[in-house]
Every structure is written in C-alpha cells, then in structure tokens.
C-alpha cells in the first residue's frame, strides 16, 4: 500500500509516482478549459473562459469546496473518512447566522470543531468505523438543525464580516474567499510537511499498529485530524452563508462527494497514508472548472452526472490504480 519509489530513476526524465496525479490533473484542467473555449468560440465567438475575471470567479466559488477538501484530506490520509461534512457545514452556517454580531464566526468555527471532536472521540477512542460514526453524527446534526429551525430556512442573515470574507474583492480583483482558502491551504501544507503531527498522520495511514509501537499517541492524532476536518467544514459553512447572505437547509449536501472526489483525483490514496496537498488543490480546481464548463454548455443534469462519474474513473485509471495482489 505504501510502496513508494525507492528505486532511483535511471537516466532521463521520469515522473515520481506522487507527481503523476498532479501533472495529469493539471493537464486535464487545461483540457477542460480548451474544450470549453472551443465550445464558446463556436457558439458565441468569444472566449470568456480564458479571461482572468472568469478564472478568479471560479476560484472564489471553488474556495468553499477547497476548504472542505483540505480538512477532509487530513482525515482521508489517516485512512478514515468524514461523512458528517454536509450537516456540520450547514449547522455552522445556521448557528453563525443565528448568533450574529461579532461572535458569529467563532460560533460557526466552534460548532465545526465540536462536531469534529465528537467524531474523533468516537473513531479514535470507541473505535467505531469512521464511515458509520460520522454518518450518525451527520444524522444527529441534521436532526438538531431541523428541530432548531422547524425545517424551514432560517430567517437570520449573515453578518457583514461573513459577507466580506465570502464576497468582497481586494482592490476589486482578488477575492477575499480565495485568500482564506490559500491561508487554510498554507496551514495544511505546514501541518503535513513541517510538523510531527503531519508525519504521524501519514504514519497512521500507512500502518496504525506500527505508528503506535513507535510511540505515537495515535488516538490523539486521529482526534486532532477529525477536529480540524470539522473546523474546516465549519469555516466553509460560515463563508457559504456569507456568500448567499443566509443559511438554508441542505446547503452542505453538494459538498461531500465532490470533496472526496477532489481529494482522490488529486492522488491521495483513499486507504490513507499517501497523497500530497498540491494534488488536492488541483483536484478541487478540476472539479470546479468541470462543473462550470458543463453549465456553460447547458448540459442537463443527467449528462453531468455521467460525465462526472466517467471523469473520476478515467483519471484514476490513468494514475490511481492499486497494485496487483501477490500474496
């Protein structure tokens, strides 16, 4: 599972296995842009997709997915998964708008952190499979929010600061949301490559037993990773509420599966232990651009679903294949 290339490349240029996903995903991003541009050239005679304005707009929209995927990646690297993202995100958004004022953002982040900590306690200390525990937490958060709002969209609005973070552009050009995404990305990169926590996350993903024997408090690491994932979902919820000026039922639902897809397309092994953050970044951009180009082409939902699934399989067939079982 964790067989990294130890054989030095002979002469000439050879891709390292960890670089391959990044290169291919980036190439596919260019292909999407080319196909989309070809389409708009044929139908409208212009190339809006290549304008910086359009690309920045996509990055702004993509930053919500990007933040979710950044948190989710930490959990996937452990070999676990966090299915509670949709309603953690929604709960954070709803509570942040409900509290309002200066405490809106801390409350939203706190909700995410809290859900993440409960997930971590269940997965690490009770040893419940993460798939099922986070699924249960998702149902509980959904239940709490349905009970809280009566099943309707809450009437409360996002605070000015939330709207600023999600919508504003510095100098009218650079979206603030993109900067938030970059800050989260920088944090994740530092954690993964420069801290013992990051090394511990990779170690647990490869073989938790060995990590434990080498003195890592594996339960604590799992707890922290889930807490960070929850906090990331909470932050995405706060931003998304700011973007749409309010919270609404089911606002987190379209974020879970694309986030998993982005992480996996970026080359992170779904079984954990392997993957680079750069890949996740490119994966998010790929998913966002794919969605955007398909909606420019006015693709019906059915076609989108089929293309979406085909792209994931095709990308993984190129570089995400497992090794043969040889005993």
Partner 1 sequence: MADVALTSDAAEPLEKAQRRRWGFGARMRQHAGILGGLALFLALYLFYQANHPRGFTGQILIQNANEAFALALVSMAQTVPVLMAGLDLSVGAVMTLVGCIASHLVNGSPAEIAFGIVICIASGAACGFANGCVVVYGRIQPIIATLATSAIYMGFALILRPTPGGKVHEDLSWAVTSDVREFAATFGLFSDGEAVWLQPFAWIPVPLILLALIILLVWVPFTRSVTGRTVYAIGSAEGAAYMSGLPINRAKLAAFTLAGLFAGLGGLFLALQTSSGNADIPQAGAYTLNSIAAVVIGGTSLVGGSGSAIGSVIGALVLRTISFNFRIFDVAPLLQPLFEGLVLLAAVSLGGLKLLRLRNKLEVFR
Contacts to partner 1 by CB under 8 A: 83, 122, 125-129, 131-133, 135-144, 146-147, 150-151, 208-209, 212-213, 218, 253, 257, 260-261, 264, 269-271, 300-310, 312-313, 316-317, 320-327
| Residue whose CB is less far from partner 1, 149 or 159 | 149
CA distance 21 to 315: 8
Q: How far is the CB of 250 from partner 1 (least distance, A)?
A: 8
Rounded to a whole number of angstroms, the minimum distance from the CB of residue 184 to partner 1 is 24
Closest CA to 309 of 260, 276, 253, 268: 260
Nearer residue to partner 1 within complex by CB, 181 or 226: 226
Would you give the end-to-end CA distance of the chain in angstroms? 13
- Closest to partner 1 by CB, 62 vs 122, is 122
Nearest residue (CB) to partner 1, 181 versus 255: 255
Is the CB of 242 or the CB of 279 nearer to partner 1?
279
Nearest alpha carbon to residue 124 among 60, 68, 53, 200: 200
Structure token digits, residue 238: 């706060």
Q: In which region does residue 223 sit, left (phi positive, over 0), alpha (psi from -120 to 50) or beta (all else)? A: alpha
Q: How far is the CB of 198 from partner 1 (least distance, A)?
A: 20
DSSP type of residue 321:
-
Contact 303, 43 (CB under 8 A): no
Rounded to a whole number of angstroms, the minimum distance from the CB of residue 177 to partner 1 is 27
Residue 191: CB minimum distance to partner 1, A: 23
């Amino acid at each position: 599972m964790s067989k990294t290339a130890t054989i030095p490349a002979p002469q000439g240029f050879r891709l390292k296995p960890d670089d391959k996903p990044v290169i291919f995903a980036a190439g596919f991003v260019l292909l999407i842009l080319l196909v989309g541009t070809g389409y708009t050239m044929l139908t409208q005679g212009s190339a809006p997709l290549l304008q910086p304005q359009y690309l920045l707009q996509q990055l702004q929209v993509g930053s919500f997915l990007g933040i979710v995927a950044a948190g989710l990646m930490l959990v996937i690297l452990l070999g676990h998964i966090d299915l509670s993202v949709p309603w953690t995100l929604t709960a954070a958004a709803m509570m942040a708008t409900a509290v309002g004022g200066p405490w809106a953002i801390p409350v939203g982040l706190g909700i995410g952190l809290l859900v993440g900590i409960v997930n971590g306690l269940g997965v690490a200390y009770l040893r419940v499979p993460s798939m099922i525990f986070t699924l249960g937490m998702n149902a509980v958060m959904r239940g709490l929010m349905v009970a809280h709002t009566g099943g309707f969209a809450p009437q409360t609005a996002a605070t000015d600061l939330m709207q600023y973070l999600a919508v504003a552009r510095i100098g009218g050009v650079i979206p603030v949301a993109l900067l938030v995404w970059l800050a989260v990305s920088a944090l994740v990169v530092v954690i993964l490559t420069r801290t013992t926590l990051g090394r511990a996350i990779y170690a647990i993903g490869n073989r938790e037993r060995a990590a434990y024997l080498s003195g890592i408090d594996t339960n604590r690491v799992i707890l922290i990773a889930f807490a960070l994932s929850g906090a990331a979902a909470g932050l995405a919820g706060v931003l998304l509420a700011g973007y749409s000026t309010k919270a609404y039922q089911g606002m987190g639902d379209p974020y879970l599966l694309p986030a998993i897809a982005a992480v996996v397309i970026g080359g992170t092994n779904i079984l954990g232990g392997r993957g680079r953050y750069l890949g996740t970044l490119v994966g998010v951009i790929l998913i966002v651009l794919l969605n955007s180009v398909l909606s420019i082409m006015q693709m019906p939902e059915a076609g989108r679903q089929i293309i979406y699934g085909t792209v994931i399989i095709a990308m993984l067939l190129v570089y995400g294949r497992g090794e043969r079982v040889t005993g």
